[in-house]
Amino acid sequence: MLILLVSLAMAQDNLAPGSVSTDPQTLTAIGVQWFISGDDNRNATVSVRYREEGAATWKQGPPLFRVHPETVNGWSVSPQFAGSVFDLEPGTPWEVELHAVDPDGADITEVVIAQTRAVPGDPPNPNTVTVTNTAGFRAALSSAAAGDVIELADGDYDGPFEMYASGTAGNPIVIRGESEPFTILNGAGCNDCNVIEVYGSFVHIESLTLTDANRALRFQGQGAEGNVVRRVQIADVNLGIGAKEDQLGFTICDNTLIGPLEWPHVYTDDGGQFANVDGIVIMGSGHVVCHNRLSGWGDGLKMGQDGGRANDFYGNQVLASYDNALEFDGGEGNIRALRNHFINGFAPISFQPVRGGPAYAIRNIVYNVAHEPFKFHALGQNEETSGILVWHNSVFHPEHAAKLSDSSTSHNFDVRNNLFIGPDVPPDGKTVDWTGGIDRGVFDNNGWYPPDYRFDFDDAGDWIDFYEMQANGIFGANGIALTRDNIIGGLMPPADYTVDAGAPNVELAATSLAIDAAERMPGINDDFSGEGPDLGALDFDCRVPVYGPRPPGFGDVHIPCEDSPTTPTTGTQTTGTDTDTDSIGGTPEGESGDAADPKKGGCGCENASGPAGWLPLLAFLALALRRR
């Protein structure tokens, strides 16, 4: 009796909210943490509303995610609820209302003001420095000061180069070429150098080609802030864009990077010796990596430092990755992957590990996988992954609709509203082959093909087919069995991963059972066509997102399905290369991706996925690899 009384006295079931913290700013998302104590029985919830500061109407956001510190080893995480709101206007103050309710008594509302970061632009009163040769460029770099815009004429500039000066948030230093393919900084064949190194903060690198060295660009300043890489082309190097620890608030968007590796060369072919041949690496927090096109890298997009928060990856197209298209390894929370296009990859999205979360993977297309679509792996034996949210993705795997080949346990995750499509006849008779342990893991509201083979979730359950799994009720109670005609043209995964899959159209067919079948999720799938949201990455009859570099004038704000695709979003940007428009918004008239056609996403390719998407890539490759 005494032991029971002591135990009851120690229990603190009522939630005791503490301080609220906002994550570093990004362009289109806000991340928050609400630190807590109590709620030992874990039955509290936190709902979210948000609005532009001063607006009359609130919008519903996704509820905050309960972080479980007890599942995180090798990293210190405080008890908290955490989460993000998405698709916000850049450079805008927002009110975020958090409403905590605990059946044991607590009912508390907090409102925080958070600002999205503005799209980086030119100095308001630029000091233009015109450069026409290598000597002039070196002189401009050595004397650079805040507010300088260094404009390079087309031509070859023999490096390597170093930049030590810093701009400011309001007066950056801009290094800009006359044109992407013809203003070329080269490392002159240097095998142990970077074409250009930047040591300062608020430095913009724009509209150039970087080539012929070990690495194209490295930001060498630990703790540097506000650097930008925009509309840069990289080829004939071993590494792309590198970083140093604790950097903050970079913008790396609309670039094209061709790596040294070729598909189908993958990790298991040689024991992973090229796993760190990286395309774009960020370190620290608050970075935006968007609308880049990459091919031929070990890891295409990579978080290179443990504990990163509020890093956004959206609109990227990775066409071939020897290891991971996107590596979230070591990230702590509010790390976000939205609307990316990952084709031909070994393990396209890696969470090895996530340190509490949430880590979001939302509306990504994953087509042609050599190993695992989502890498829920531990780091070593003890640091297991915890806090992953996989929502509204479309996955096409040549062997299994879903696969995990790791014995570690994954904690506190949710896999919902996805399409998982395998071959008509899985080679080992398994639609799902998931070998890892599952702790507080949810698989529900997903669409599965083929439904008539084994759904093997190891110790969590092994069922002869989808229908037995659904009847059991552990996983998939609200899921659906798909037929073969899910995608336009009956698209299926390739017969073998070694095939170069190109960039197929993965839009839903009009007869797909995935239409209107998704669970409604506030702040995630509010915009849809029809009676409800659809399963997978693309909602039927809605505008297809842009993947890879955007046409000039196309903006950072996602255009909801119910809005006219010709409606521009607000905000301004000066890029220096897009002379026809400086507006941020829908595709300008006359650009690739016809603004009058909601089925064309503006990526320079048919239906955002067709063969024409390769043409800019091939044209760049021919230009950037030309020998002087």
CA triple 331-335-339, angle to 5 deg: 135
* The length of the chain, given as a count of residues: 628
- For 472-510, what is each residue's pLDDT tens digit? 999 999 999 999 999 999 999 999 999 999 889 999 999
- Inside any domain, residue 121: no
- Measured distance CA(411)–CA(390) in Å, rounded: 13
pLDDT higher than 70, residue 443 = yes
Structural domain that includes position 612: 553-628
- For 338-381, what is each residue's pLDDT tens digit? 999 999 999 999 999 999 999 999 999 999 999 999 999 999 88
- Measured distance CA(203)–CA(169) in Å, rounded: 9
Q: What is the CATH number of the domain that holds 48?
A: 2.60.40.10
CA triple 604-499-400, angle to 5 deg: 105
What is the average pLDDT across 128-154?
Answer: 98
0.85 surpassed by pTM: yes
Boundary-marking domain end, from 115, 144, 178: 115
Q: Could you tell me the two tokens for 300?
A: 């295409």
- Inside any domain, residue 110: yes
- Inside any domain, residue 533: no
Q: Which residue has 């009851």 as its token pair?
A: 8
pLDDT score, position 48: 98
What is the average pLDDT across 325-329?
Answer: 98
- For 163-220, what is each residue's pLDDT tens digit? 999 999 999 999 999 999 999 999 999 999 999 999 999 999 999 999 999 999 999 9
- Inside any domain, residue 54: yes
Peptide bond before residue 450 is cis, with ω within 30 degrees of 0: yes
Boundary-marking domain end, from 81, 115, 149: 115
97 contact partners, CB below 8 Å, separation of at least 6: 48, 49, 50, 58, 109, 110, 111
- Inside any domain, residue 541: no
H or E stretch at 141: helix 134-142
- Inside any domain, residue 107: yes
- Inside any domain, residue 572: yes
- For 93-125, what is each residue's pLDDT tens digit? 999 999 999 999 999 999 999 999 999 999 999
- Measured distance CA(97)–CA(111) in Å, rounded: 4
- Inside any domain, residue 526: no
> Do residues 546 and 601 touch, judged by C-beta distance below 8 A?
yes
3-class DSSP string for 295-352 = ECEEEEEEECCCCCECCEEECCEECCEEEEEEECCCCCECEEEECCEEEEECCCEEEC
pLDDT score, position 562: 63
Count other Cβ atoms within 10 Å, centred on residue 34.
Answer: 23
- For 296-312, what is each residue's pLDDT tens digit? 999 999 999 999 999 99
pLDDT interval class at 11 (50, 70, 90): low
- Measured distance CA(153)–CA(208) in Å, rounded: 10
CA triple 85-86-90, angle to 5 deg: 110
CA dihedral sign of residues 204, 207, 212, 215? positive
486 contact partners, CB below 8 Å, separation of at least 6: 419, 421, 447, 449, 508, 509, 512, 513, 514
> Do residues 154 and 178 touch, judged by C-beta distance below 8 A?
yes
Boundary-marking domain end, from 72, 100, 115: 115
- For 41-84, what is each residue's pLDDT tens digit? 999 999 999 999 999 999 999 999 999 999 999 999 999 999 99
Please state the domain count of the chain: 2
Distances (CA, A) of 222 to 109, 170, 243, 246, 351: 38, 21, 8, 6, 25
